[in-house]
A and B are shown apart, each in its own frame.
Chain A
Amino acid sequence: MSQLLTSAPHRGGLPAPVPTGPVRLHINGETRTLQLAPWTSLLDALREYAHLTGTKKGCDHGQCGACTVLVNGRRINSCLTLAVMHEDDDITTIEGLGTPDNLSPLQQAFVDHDAFQCGYCTPGQICSAQGLLNEGRAHSEAEIKELMSGNLCRCGAYTGILNAVQEVVAAQGEMVK
Chain B
Amino acid sequence: MSQTDHIGKGPNRVDGPLKVSGTAHYAGEFNVPNLAYGYVVNSPIAKGKVVQVHADEVLALPGVLAVYSHENVPHLAWFDRSYKDLLAPGGSPFRPLHSPDITFNQQPVALVMAETFELARYAAALLRVDYEQEKHETNLETKRTEGYLPGGGKLGYAPPPPPRGNPEKAWKNADQKIEAEYTHGAQHHNPMELFTSTVEWLGKDKITVYDKTQGVFNVQRYLTGVFGLSKDNCRVVSQFMGGGFGSGLRPQYSVFMATLAALELKRSVRVTLTRQQMFSIGHRPNTLQFVKLATNPDGSLASLQHHALHETSLFEDYTENVVNWSGMQYQCDNVKLGYQLAQLDVYSPQDMRAPGAATGNPGIEIAMDEMAYAAGLDPLEFRFRNYAERDQNVDKPFSSKKLRECYREGAAKFGWDKRPLEPRSMREGHLLTGWGMAGGVWDAMQMPSRASARITADGRLLVLSGAGENGAGTYTIMTQIAAETLGLPLEAVTFELGDTDQPQAPLQGGSWTAASVGTAVKNACDALGEKLLKLAQKQKDSPLKDADYDEVEFVNGQLRLRRDPDRAVVLRDLLQASGVTQVEAESTALPNMLKQNGYSLHSHNAVFAEVQVDEDLGTVRVTRVVNAVAAGRILNRKTARSQVLGGVVWGLSMALMEETIMDHKFGRYVNHNYAEYHIPVNADMPHIDVLFVHEDDDIVNPLGVKGIGEVGMLGVTAAIANAIFHATGKRVRDLPIMLDKLL
Chain A interface (Cβ < 8 Å from any Cβ of B): 1-7, 9-10, 13-14, 16-17, 37, 39-40, 44, 47-48, 51-61, 63-64, 66, 93-95, 97-101, 103, 107-108, 110-112, 114, 116-123, 126, 144-146, 148-162
User: Chain B nearest CB: distance from A109 CB in Å?
Assistant: 9
Question: Would you list 14 pairs from A and B whose C-beta atoms are within 8 A, ordered by A residue?
Answer: A4-B130, A9-B54, A17-B61, A39-B122, A53-B22, A56-B242, A95-B22, A118-B193, A118-B240, A120-B243, A126-B20, A152-B679, A154-B190, A155-B649
Question: Which of B387-395, B470-478, B607-615 is the contact stretch?
Answer: B470-478
**With contacts A63-B275, A155-B646 known, what are 10 further pairs, Cβ within 8 A?**
A3-B133, A4-B130, A6-B131, A14-B61, A16-B61, A114-B641, A118-B243, A154-B245, A156-B647, A158-B685
Chain B residues near A152 (CB-CB < 8 A): 192, 674, 679, 681
Contact of B492 with A by CB under 8 A: no
* Those of B267-315 within 8 Å (CB) of chain A: 272, 274-275
Contact of B642 with A by CB under 8 A: yes
User: Is B471's CB under 8 angstroms from A58's CB?
Assistant: no
CA distance A162 to B364 in the complex (A): 34
CA distance A154 to B471 in the complex (A): 11
CA distance A13 to B61 in the complex (A): 9
CA distance A97 to B244 in the complex (A): 27
Closest Cβ neighbor of B119 among chain A residues: A17
User: Is B680's CB under 8 angstroms from A37's CB?
Assistant: no
User: Is B21's CB under 8 angstroms from A107's CB?
Assistant: yes
State the 5 A-B residue pairs at the shortest beta-carbon distance, nearest first.
A54-B22, A156-B649, A120-B242, A117-B471, A119-B19
> Contacts A54-B21, A107-B21, A145-B683 given: A154-B118 contact, CB under 8 Å?
no
Closest Cβ neighbor of B636 among chain A residues: A114
| A112 contact from B12, B131, B245, Cβ within 8 A | B12
Question: Which of B25-33, B343-351, B720-728 is the contact stretch?
Answer: B25-33
* Those of B12-40 within 8 Å (CB) of chain A: 12-13, 15-26, 28-29, 31
User: Is B673's CB under 8 angstroms from A119's CB?
Assistant: no
Main SS class of interface, B:
loop
CA distance A121 to B190 in the complex (A): 12
User: Is B118's CB under 8 angstroms from A44's CB?
Assistant: yes
* Those of B651-707 within 8 Å (CB) of chain A: 673-675, 679-685, 688
Contact of B580 with A by CB under 8 A: no
User: Chain A nearest CB: distance from B210 CB in Å?
Assistant: 12
| B675 contact from A39, A61, A110, A160, Cβ within 8 A | A61
* Those of B232-278 within 8 Å (CB) of chain A: 240-245, 272, 274-275
Residue from B20, B57, B243 whose CB has the most chain A CB atoms within 10 Å: B20
User: Is A118's CB under 8 angstroms from B117's CB?
Assistant: no
Contact of B45 with A by CB under 8 A: yes
User: Is A58's CB under 8 angstroms from B275's CB?
Assistant: yes
User: Is A54's CB under 8 angstroms from B194's CB?
Assistant: no
User: Chain B nearest CB: distance from A8 CB in Å?
Assistant: 8
User: Chain A nearest CB: distance from B37 CB in Å?
Assistant: 8
Contact with A along B82-119 (1 / 0, CB 8 A): 00000000000000000000000000000000001111
User: Is B638's CB under 8 angstroms from A114's CB?
Assistant: yes
Closest Cβ neighbor of B638 among chain A residues: A114
User: Is A149's CB under 8 angstroms from B681's CB?
Assistant: yes
Chain B interface (Cβ < 8 Å from any Cβ of A): 12-13, 15-26, 28-29, 31, 44-45, 48, 51, 54, 57-58, 60-63, 116-119, 122, 126, 128, 130-135, 190-194, 240-245, 272, 274-275, 470-473, 638-639, 641-643, 645-650, 673-675, 679-685, 688
Chain A residues near B646 (CB-CB < 8 A): 117, 155-157
Chain B residues near A40 (CB-CB < 8 A): 118
User: Is B17's CB under 8 angstroms from A93's CB?
Assistant: no
User: Chain A nearest CB: distance from B447 CB in Å?
Assistant: 21
Chain A residues near B684 (CB-CB < 8 A): 149, 158
> Contacts A9-B54, A61-B673, A64-B674 given: A116-B19 contact, CB under 8 Å?
yes
| B21 contact from A39, A64, A103, Cβ within 8 A | A103
Residue from A63, A114, A122, A160 whose CB has the most chain B CB atoms within 10 Å: A114
> Contacts A2-B133, A53-B29 given: A149-B683 contact, CB under 8 Å?
yes
| A107 contact from B13, B20, B130, B240, Cβ within 8 A | B20
Residue from B15, B22, B28, B272 whose CB has the most chain A CB atoms within 10 Å: B22
User: Is A47's CB under 8 angstroms from B193's CB?
Assistant: no
Closest Cβ neighbor of B60 among chain A residues: A13
User: Chain B nearest CB: distance from A39 CB in Å?
Assistant: 6
User: Chain A nearest CB: distance from B244 CB in Å?
Assistant: 8
CA distance A122 to B645 in the complex (A): 16
Chain A residues near B44 (CB-CB < 8 A): 5
CA distance A45 to B110 in the complex (A): 26
Residue from B17, B133, B680 whose CB has the most chain A CB atoms within 10 Å: B17
Chain B residues near A107 (CB-CB < 8 A): 17, 20-21
Chain B residues near A116 (CB-CB < 8 A): 16, 19-20, 471
User: Is B685's CB under 8 angstroms from A159's CB?
Assistant: yes
Chain B residues near A121 (CB-CB < 8 A): 192, 242
| B645 contact from A2, A94, A160, Cβ within 8 A | A160
CA distance A9 to B128 in the complex (A): 8
CA distance A39 to B120 in the complex (A): 13
User: Is A120's CB under 8 angstroms from B193's CB?
Assistant: yes
| B194 contact from A4, A57, A98, A117, Cβ within 8 A | A57
User: Chain B nearest CB: distance from A25 CB in Å?
Assistant: 16
> Contacts A14-B61, A156-B647 given: A99-B682 contact, CB under 8 Å?
no
CA distance A155 to B679 in the complex (A): 11
User: Chain A nearest CB: distance from B34 CB in Å?
Assistant: 13
> Contacts A117-B642, A156-B647 given: A10-B45 contact, CB under 8 Å?
no
Chain A residues near B688 (CB-CB < 8 A): 159
User: Chain A nearest CB: distance from B668 CB in Å?
Assistant: 13
CA distance A13 to B133 in the complex (A): 27
User: Chain A nearest CB: distance from B673 CB in Å?
Assistant: 6
User: Is B29's CB under 8 angstroms from A119's CB?
Assistant: no
User: Chain A nearest CB: distance from B249 CB in Å?
Assistant: 15
CA distance A58 to B20 in the complex (A): 16
Chain A residues near B274 (CB-CB < 8 A): 60
Closest Cβ neighbor of B16 among chain A residues: A111
Closest Cβ neighbor of B193 among chain A residues: A120
Closest Cβ neighbor of A1 among chain B residues: B135
| B51 contact from A4, A57, A101, A159, Cβ within 8 A | A4
CA distance A91 to B530 in the complex (A): 54
Chain A residues near B57 (CB-CB < 8 A): 9-10, 13-14
Chain B residues near A9 (CB-CB < 8 A): 54, 57, 128
| B241 contact from A1, A118, A145, A162, Cβ within 8 A | A118
Chain B residues near A117 (CB-CB < 8 A): 243, 470-473, 639, 642-643, 646
Residue from B26, B243, B473 whose CB has the most chain A CB atoms within 10 Å: B243
Chain B residues near A153 (CB-CB < 8 A): 192, 682
User: Is B674's CB under 8 angstroms from A44's CB?
Assistant: no
User: Chain B nearest CB: distance from A27 CB in Å?
Assistant: 12
User: Is B674's CB under 8 angstroms from A100's CB?
Assistant: no
Closest Cβ neighbor of A3 among chain B residues: B133
Chain A residues near B193 (CB-CB < 8 A): 56, 58, 118, 120
Closest Cβ neighbor of B25 among chain A residues: A53
CA distance A24 to B29 in the complex (A): 23
User: Is A114's CB under 8 angstroms from B21's CB?
Assistant: no
CA distance A162 to B130 in the complex (A): 50
Chain A residues near B28 (CB-CB < 8 A): 47, 53, 57
User: Is A157's CB under 8 angstroms from B642's CB?
Assistant: yes
User: Chain B nearest CB: distance from A159 CB in Å?
Assistant: 5
Chain A residues near B58 (CB-CB < 8 A): 14
CA distance A18 to B191 in the complex (A): 34
Closest Cβ neighbor of B709 among chain A residues: A117
User: Is B470's CB under 8 angstroms from A118's CB?
Assistant: yes
Closest Cβ neighbor of A108 among chain B residues: B20
CA distance A1 to B126 in the complex (A): 28
Chain B residues near A120 (CB-CB < 8 A): 26, 191-193, 242-243
User: Is B20's CB under 8 angstroms from A110's CB?
Assistant: yes
> Contacts A5-B132, A117-B642, A122-B19 given: A156-B648 contact, CB under 8 Å?
yes
